[in-house]
Amino acid sequence: MAITKGYKQLLDEANAAVKGVSPEQAQAMAASGEALIIDLRDPRELERKGRIPGTKHCPRGMLEFWIDPESPYHKPYFAENRTFIFQCASGWRSALAARTAKEMGLGPVLNLTGGFSAWKKSGLPVETIDGTPWPAT
C-alpha cells in the first residue's frame, strides 16, 4: 500500500504553519525569559552531543502527553505563559512537533531553524546534561 503523504510534504506543511527562528533569536528570547526551548532529541543524543543551556527535555514520543493538562504525564512548564521554541538536531522533528503543539492549542510556538546543529555552528553555548560546559572536562 502506498502512503498518501510523505515526510517532505509533512515538513512543508509544518514549516508553513510554524514560524522559524534563528539560534541567535532563540538565545535572546530564552535569556530574557520570554521563551522556553524544548529539546525533543533522544536522550542518547543529549549524552553524545550536549544540550542548549536552560532547555527542557521532552522526548518526542511524550510531547502530546506532556502538553495536555488532562494527561497524567502533564508537565507544568507547558502551562506557563511563554513562547515555546521546539528544537531537535536539524529542525525536522521540531517542525512537526511545533505544528502538533500549535494544533493542540499551545502557543505561541516556534521552531529553531536548523536545530541543535545550527546552534552549535553559530558558536552558541552548549552544556552536558548535568549542566557543565561542553565538552566535559
- What sign does the CA torsion over 32, 110, 21, 44 have? positive
Q: Write down the residue that cell numbers 543551556 correspond to.
A: 53
- Residue spans of alpha helices (H) in the chain: 7-17, 23-31, 43-49, 63-67, 92-104, 115-121
One-letter amino acid of 122: S
Residues of the chain with pLDDT under 70: 135-137
Delimit the domains of the chain by residue range: 18-121
Q: Quick one: CATH architecture of 18-121? A: 3-Layer(aba) Sandwich (3.40)
What pLDDT score was predicted for residue 1?
Answer: 82
* The length of the chain, given as a count of residues: 137
Residue 111: strand, helix, or coil: strand
What pLDDT score was predicted for residue 91?
Answer: 96
Residue 83: strand, helix, or coil: strand
What pLDDT score was predicted for residue 137?
Answer: 44
Closest CA to 45 of 60, 35, 24: 60
Going by the DSSP 8-state scheme, the letter that residue 129 receives in this structure is T
pLDDT tens column, 10-38 = 999 999 999 999 999 999 999 999 999 99
Task: Give exposure, 69-107, as e/b (b: 16+ Cβ within 10 Å).
Answer: eeeeeebeebeeeebbbbbbbebbbbbbbbbbbbeeebe
Instruction: Give the integer Cα–Cα distance in Å for 71 and 37.
Output: 21
